[in-house]
Chain A
Amino acid sequence: MLLALREVIRAKARFALLSGAVGLLVFLIVFQQALFGGLITSFIGAVENQDAPILVFNDQARSNVEGSFLLPAQAEAISRVDGVADSRLIGQNTFTVATASAPEDAVLFGYTLGELGEPRTLRDGRLPLGPNEAVASAADADKGFDIGDTIEILGDDGPTVTIVGLGEDLRWSVAPTLFVSYETFEAAQAAVNPDATVVLPSLVAVRPADGVDIDTLTDTIDAQVDGVEALTNAEAVAQNPGVQGVSSSITIILALAFVVVILVVGFFFLILTVQKAKPLTLLRAIGSPSSYLVRNLIVQIAVVMTAGIVIGVGSALLVAAVSPTGDVPIEVEVGSVITTVVALFVLAMIGGAVSIRRVLRIDPIRATADSGRTL
């Protein structure tokens, strides 16, 4: 083992270069994952962090909250399905609002106060107790959505809402989000659609009765109520069109980065092995077993990967810590970092497999015949 480490110490620049390259790739992977996590939360935090276990959509909305609305008859039918303990209307729309400083986009989620659809991540203040009060996404406190701030929904006699609480991870579509009473939502809708004769809910929130399986109940609702699609909260998050679009793009990007790690590590150690053909052949000739040489190679790959991972993860953590809180927060999650590190180690070993194969093929007799460069 000592031989491998001594080589690393003597050829610092070469190994530092590779560790730096691997570190850059690790940084890209971890940082993209962190950005992805933050982006997803900013896209769907409001649905993920409300307390209804089941959300019922219009089946033509294709899991898109913005495209969903339910007729009164459908909402009534949902409430009568066997196994439904409680059901409440949820309204959602994006409005132009006036804050103290400037006009902004804001998403309103209207729910029955004290009932299903309530935000679960209150950090400061309190939940709304009556009309024209709101819990806002904490990430937007400095944009004019802090406790005590008032927000006017622009339109014909749009309601003015006072922020009474802040909740973590409550954004929707990367926009400031307000949880208000359903009546406040209706008033906002009426303000921007003065000719409308009705305000329709976007979703119906459902709580199953005790002992009723949640998946069975979603199937039952789909079967018994025409034109609706019931989803568990987790399904509503995963099937959101925005999340799906981002997921597929990021999956391709990350897969690409992992392939690059294999290629870079594989080629580097292949070059090293070829360069070291003569000394490796000599070592075999004087009695070093192949397994010893392979262990040296594996140790060097491990050293390079460890250094690269320390550089990469450290850089990602540093950048995440010092990055200004922009529209999309950067969230480095321990679980995904551990999974990534393990995957990178395995892939690096796969990348080094060609070199290992070359080492195993070394014929000691060549030490007496030629340069050994033909291994």
Chain B
Amino acid sequence: MKIAVLELVRRPGRFVVVGGALTLLTLLLLFLGGLLDGLFLNSTGAIRANDADALVFSDDARQSFLRSTVDDDVRAEILAVDGVGEVGGLGLSLLGVAIPGEREIADGAVAGYELASGALPAPPSPGQAYADRRLEKFGARLGQTVLVGPAEVPLELIGWVEDTNYLLQNGLWVEPDTWRSVQTTNRPDAPVGAGEFQTFIVRSTGTIETDELIARIDSATGRTETLSENDAVFAVPGITEQNATFTAVIGVTIFVTGLVVALFFALLTIERQGLYALLKAIGGSSRTLVAGVVVQSLAVALGAYLLGALLTAGLAQILPPSVPAQFELGRAAITLVAVTAAAVAGGLISFRRITRIDPATAIGAGA
């Protein structure tokens, strides 16, 4: 074990190749994870921001915000359901946002809402908006008035909110009538009537299971499709496929990390067969030698992870705002565990080869 550590300290050059490869793979893993998290969070923030137990869509919308319309009659029917605590409307309009001083139009999701939540303060005054902080990357500042859509509806930015975007469009949270005005002025072919929303956010009294609440609401209205918050998140177009694809790619990358470490230490073991035979001849056990390899693979993995994380942090600083990567501590921790586990597993591949080394070969008596 001590020899393994000393070798790492005195001959770090031997581990440059595998360290470099692992650094690259760590960078890829962190970047892929950041992209997955960024795509997911920025596509679904507007749903998760409402602290909803359930979301009610019209039953002909097939779970699409943009095709759903619910009105005051539906609201009254939901409120009459036993177990329903609060009901608030939510509507979204996807439109371009012109920011003063910026040439490029930013993507915007203007959200009309009624209920405050952990992420959202109470709705602002008419003509004002809370903006998702991501809009800051596109040049927006508090106090500015941005112009929304081709009709250039003005909205004054009065505060930042976090993690509230929808379909990668920057959230602009306004009171309901402002949203209706934005939608109807910009899209006269798809106006929103008074009292209408795309969905209702429902919070339960806490005395009923979500499944039961959903069943009661749909039964009471007879014309809605109610989803739990989680189901509504995964009903966002492309989210399920996106998660599956990226998770598979991340899995393959972790496997490759283990493979690279295994190949490297297999090579190192072959090169050091004579040395290992000598160590065995003077009393070193196979267990000690394997432990040394594992320690080295662990150290290389940790060093590579550190370097990869630093490179990722640097990359995050220069990424254009159009790339939705978002780097989360939880993802970084999972990646650290995965990289080190793959490295240790890769190092252990040399176990059999080391145990088969015959100490007698140290004096030329081996097979």
- Chain B nearest CB from A293 CB (Å) reads 19
Stretch at the interface among B82-90, B251-259, B327-335: B251-259
A103-B266 contact given A60-B105, A249-B245, A263-B260, CB 8 Å threshold: no
Interface string of A262-288 (1 = CB under 8 A from B): 011001101100110000000000000
Stretch at the interface among A112-120, A206-214, A232-240, A251-259: A251-259
Q: Which residue on chain B has the smallest CB distance to residue A328?
A: B241
Q: Give every chain A residue within 8 A of B149 (Cβ-Cβ).
A: 60
Interface string of A303-324 (1 = CB under 8 A from B): 0000000000000000000000
A252's contact among B32, B105, B256, B266, by CB below 8 Å, is which? Answer: B32
Q: Which residue on chain A has the smallest CB distance to residue B108?
A: A60
Q: Which of chain B's residues 316-344 have a Cβ closer than 8 Å to chain A? A: 323
In the bound complex, what is the Cα–Cα distance between A263 and B256 (angstroms)? 9
* A193 and B245 form a contact (CB under 8 A): no
In the bound complex, what is the Cα–Cα distance between A233 and B190 (angstroms)? 27
Q: Which residue on chain A has the smallest CB distance to residue B169?
A: A67
A-B contact count (CB 8 A): 98
* B270 and A274 form a contact (CB under 8 A): yes
In the bound complex, what is the Cα–Cα distance between A271 and B249 (angstroms)? 27
Q: Give every chain B residue within 8 A of A195 (Cβ-Cβ).
A: 191, 193
Q: Give every chain B residue within 8 A of A299 (Cβ-Cβ).
A: none
Q: Which residue on chain A has the smallest CB distance to residue B21?
A: A263
Asked if A154 lies at the interface with its beta carbon under 8 angstroms from chain B, I say: yes
Chain B interface residue number, banded: 35 or more
Residue total for A at the interface (Cβ-Cβ under 8 A):
47
* A260 and B256 form a contact (CB under 8 A): yes
Asked if A61 lies at the interface with its beta carbon under 8 angstroms from chain B, I say: yes
Q: Give every chain B residue within 8 A of A66 (Cβ-Cβ).
A: 94
A259-B193 contact given A105-B62, A274-B267, CB 8 Å threshold: no
Interface string of A177-203 (1 = CB under 8 A from B): 000000000000100110111111000
Asked if A125 lies at the interface with its beta carbon under 8 angstroms from chain B, I say: no
In the bound complex, what is the Cα–Cα distance between A248 and B191 (angstroms)? 35
Q: Which residue on chain B has the smallest CB distance to residue A192?
A: B67
* B187 and A28 form a contact (CB under 8 A): no
* B271 and A274 form a contact (CB under 8 A): yes
Q: Give every chain B residue within 8 A of A263 (Cβ-Cβ).
A: 21, 256, 259-260, 263
* B187 and A69 form a contact (CB under 8 A): yes
Q: Give every chain A residue within 8 A of B64 (Cβ-Cβ).
A: 94, 105
* B150 and A67 form a contact (CB under 8 A): no
Asked if A58 lies at the interface with its beta carbon under 8 angstroms from chain B, I say: yes
Q: Give every chain A residue within 8 A of B249 (Cβ-Cβ).
A: 253, 256
* A96 and B62 form a contact (CB under 8 A): yes
* B188 and A200 form a contact (CB under 8 A): yes
Asked if A361 lies at the interface with its beta carbon under 8 angstroms from chain B, I say: no
In the bound complex, what is the Cα–Cα distance between A103 and B59 (angstroms)? 11
Asked if B311 lies at the interface with its beta carbon under 8 angstroms from chain A, I say: no
* A256 and B263 form a contact (CB under 8 A): no
Asked if B80 lies at the interface with its beta carbon under 8 angstroms from chain A, I say: no
Q: Give every chain B residue within 8 A of A256 (Cβ-Cβ).
A: 28, 249, 252-253, 256
A60-B188 contact given A256-B253, A274-B267, A274-B270, CB 8 Å threshold: no
Asked if A123 lies at the interface with its beta carbon under 8 angstroms from chain B, I say: no
Interface string of B275-304 (1 = CB under 8 A from A): 000000000000000000000000000000
In the bound complex, what is the Cα–Cα distance between A66 and B169 (angstroms)? 14
Q: Which of B32, B150, B274 has the most chain A CB within a 10 Å cutoff? A: B150
Other than the known A199-B189, A200-B189, A267-B264, what 4 A-B pairs have Cβ atoms closer than 8 Å? A193-B189, A193-B191, A271-B263, A373-B274
7 closest residue pairs by CB, A with B: A60-B96, A267-B263, A200-B189, A271-B267, A96-B60, A154-B60, A196-B189
Q: State the B residues within 8 Å of A (CB).
A: 21, 24, 28, 31-32, 35, 39, 60-62, 64, 66-67, 94-96, 105, 107, 149-150, 187-191, 193, 237-238, 245-246, 249, 252-253, 256, 259-260, 263-264, 266-267, 270-271, 273-274, 323
Sample 29 A-B pairs with CB under 8 A, ordered by A number.
A28-B252, A60-B150, A61-B96, A62-B105, A69-B150, A71-B150, A96-B60, A96-B67, A105-B64, A196-B188, A196-B191, A200-B188, A242-B238, A249-B246, A253-B245, A253-B249, A256-B28, A256-B252, A259-B24, A260-B256, A263-B260, A267-B263, A267-B264, A267-B267, A268-B263, A270-B267, A271-B267, A275-B270, A373-B273
